Structure 1
Amino acid sequence: SPLLQHLVETAGVLLAGRGGARLPQILKVPLSRTSVLFHLMRLPLPPAATPRVLGVDDFALYADVYGTLLVDAETRLPIELWEGRDAEQVTAWLRTHTGVGGVCRDGSLVYRQGITEGAPEAVQASDRFHLWQGLSKRVGDIAAAHRGCLPAAVPEPEATPSQAEPVGPSDQADTPARRHAKRLLEAVHAVTDTGRSINATARELGLNRRTVSTYARAATWQECVRTTRPRRPTSLDPYLHYLQQRW
């Protein structure tokens, strides 16, 4: 019925295919999304009002084949779409749709000519994308042309005070672990220097074979002292002071 067809068309406009098919099912009208889209495509396109500000740009269909897109710059809705990017097409459209007060376009001379002939009183301006694109390209060209002058404009770095050398284990205060390492190194080397094996030295001193092997290979006791690894930064570091205060 006409009423049901209007309902399906409205559901298709508002909810598209899948959503438009679910709504009639609630009303006991089972339809597939394909049927809803079929009724949607039968609707005539609403008449496009002449925009106050028109956006003109090209796009690549494939390879070197381009098309032209006209957009209402205020509502951002597409108006016209055709293959090619000729000035005659733009001129003919503007002469048919009078009342355009401004046009946003790229830097193409073809569109500039077509807009000038079709709407001579319209104000032409570069759109935001092409404005930034042209500005960035110009800045890049200037920086490349004056690349040799840039090092002279950079101030020389200030001399930083020489950092103190890291304090090694030999410079640290005496600790029980250091004294223990000294005694073990002397005891192990006193036995191994006589030609005894690692296993015999371990049995005589009552130590683990790996410990004896470590001290026997070391030239100084500093090599046997465990060094504290530097602490890795974590995501909690910015809040450590606050957490310590709360603790």
Structure 2
Amino acid sequence: MLIKELFAVLFPHLVGVCVDQVFRSGTTVRIRARTGTMEAACPACGTPSQRVHSHYERRLSDTAVGGQEVLIHLRVHRFFSRTSTCAKATFAEQIPGLTVRYGRRSVRAAGALQAIALALGGRAGARLADRLASSVSRMTLIRLIRALPDPGLDAGPRVLGVDDFALRRGHSYGTILIDISTSTVVDVLADRTADTLAAWLRAHPGVEIVCRDRAGAYAEGITRGAPHAIQVADRWHIWRNLGEAVERTVTRHRLQALIAAPSTTDTSPPAAPQVLLRSPADRQDRIATRTRERHAAVHALLEQGQGLREIARLLCLGRNTVRRFARAASPDSLLVHDGTGRRPKNLETYDAYLRKRWAEGCTNAELLHQELRALGYHGTSTTVRQYVRPWRAGTSAAPAATRSPTVRQATGWFLRNPAKLDPDDHHRLQALTTACPQLAALRLHVRQFAEMMMHRHGQIWRPGCTPS
């Protein structure tokens, strides 16, 4: 009698079955049990049935006892369904609190593994489950988490973050909703349309602030679904907007700054050949011609009332490319000031070392190639031989040509943290801002705006302060 009471206390979920045997097999405790059910209800139609079809043995993993894994061998019945219109001809009985359909674990073991998975995740949870419940893999724990139903959400968070993500880049996109206060995902929408977002906001009232990206569909959806909510842009998109404004300003004033103050980091003699700078209007190369033709075609279709998606289809261009051409007032703003037009060679990184070794008398291209390989160069000896071939005509190394910074490089100098800027880049940025008052004002405004964003203090920012 005492053993039965002890068994009922330790295994309350086995009270509804008949335990025939408990034995140990290796490090596993095995329990043989059977059901005494004479009648069971069909899970499809709910009609009870007493007609037994057959019986079979189920193996259920249970929680550990005394540090030992427990395996239950449960013999259950299969019944015939009595309703002729039922979709099921036969069905297996289920023991409340012990089994579920297609389950290979007891209800108590499954609950323990779900709690471990939610608390620790995959790898750490698998190590703890080996001690407390049963041996499972990390992927099993992750599948248990995914099988849990989503928690209900009656009201929306006070501060909601809205952004899109690619299900299939360029084809299918969805919308992710985040509670900014807790940094947790609230919901995921199937698309990024205004109707879907507006319907979600109406079904989940209480949103006071919405932090979103620059998509017009989101602005429309928020206005319709939560008209009283304040719409703000997140810090990433604000900084991106600033970066685009900085790039346009640098494009307009870079030529003036470089003519007034060429690169000061060049250590070549004054007789070194200089790079001739050309304005966008003077460029007649293939890229400039193609840019002007595309700009004219995009704006011609815009005047006809065509949308960006339709223009992209007609011109066989990406939608982002069409949007960039549509926003540009003239094709010259899309052209970067060009120097020689050639791409820098990989060897130009090692130009100073090559000139130093050439001045020391080392003129063997194969030996120079071996030394460069030790420094990390991955090119061939033929490239080195072609690079130093013009030097053999004179008695000394030819001076390096001055290369002007690109718009992308200069924009990066303005947007980068001054404390993390290389001394050489800092010196070149100082030369640009000294030669051009507009770029100097731009540098000051960018620093002020960065301080406002990073430290969350400052004065009201007025767009009119941005230099033209």
* 1:141-197 CA distance string (max 9 Å, x none): 112122343347769x9xxxxxxxxxxxxxxxxxxxxxxxxxxxxxxxxxxxxxxxx
Write out per-residue CA displacement over residues 1-33 of structure 1, whole angstroms, 9 at most, x where no aligned residue: 443332211111112233222212213633343
Alignment of 1:15-54 (within 5 A): 15-27=120-132, 29-48=134-153, 50-54=156-160
* Alignment partner of 2:254 out of 128, 142, 147: 147
Q: 1:28 to 1:125 in 2, by over 3 A?
A: closer
The residue aligned with 1:102 is 209
- TM-score calculated relative to the size of structure 2: 0.31
**Structure 2 counterpart of 1:18, which letter?**
R
1:60 and 2:170 are equivalent in the alignment:
no
Query: What is the match of residue 120 of structure 1?
Result: 227
Tell me the number of residue pairs that the alignment of Structure 1 and Structure 2 aligns.
Answer: 157
Q: Which runs of 5+ in 2 are unaligned?
A: 1-105, 265-468
More strand by share: 2
Residue in structure 1 matching 2:119, options 1, 8, 14: 14
Larger radius of gyration: 1
The structure with the greater share of residues assigned to helix is: 1
Partner of 2:32: none
State the AA in 2 paired with 1:56.
V
Cα-Cα RMSD: 2.5
Structure 1 residues 153 and 116: CA distance shift in structure 2, 3 A? farther
- Tell me the secondary structure at the aligned position of residue 248 of structure 2: helix
Q: Which moved more, 1:105-114 or 1:39-48?
A: 39-48
Give ranges in structure 1 of 5+ residues lacking alignment: 158-247
Please, which moves more after superposition, 108-117 or 64-73?
64-73
Distance (whole Å) between structure 2 residues aligned to residue 142 and residue 99 of structure 1: 41
Q: Helix, strand or coil: the match of 2:257?
A: helix
Q: Distance in 2 between matches of 1:37 and 1:61?
A: 21
TM-score normalised to structure 1 length: 0.57
> CA separation in 1, counterparts of 2:214 and 2:159?
17
* 2:177 equivalent in structure 1: 70
| 1:92 paired residue number | 199
Alpha carbons of structure 1 residues 121 and 8: separation in structure 2 relative to 1, 3 Å = same
Question: Runs of 4+ in structure 1 displaced over 4 angstroms?
Answer: 151-155
SS at match of 1:69: strand
| 2:178 and 2:186 in contact (8 A); partners too | yes
CA 1:43/1:62 → structure 2, altered by over 3 Å: closer, same or farther? Answer: closer
| CA offsets 1:83-113 (integer angstroms, 9 cap, x no match) | 3210001100111111100011111111111
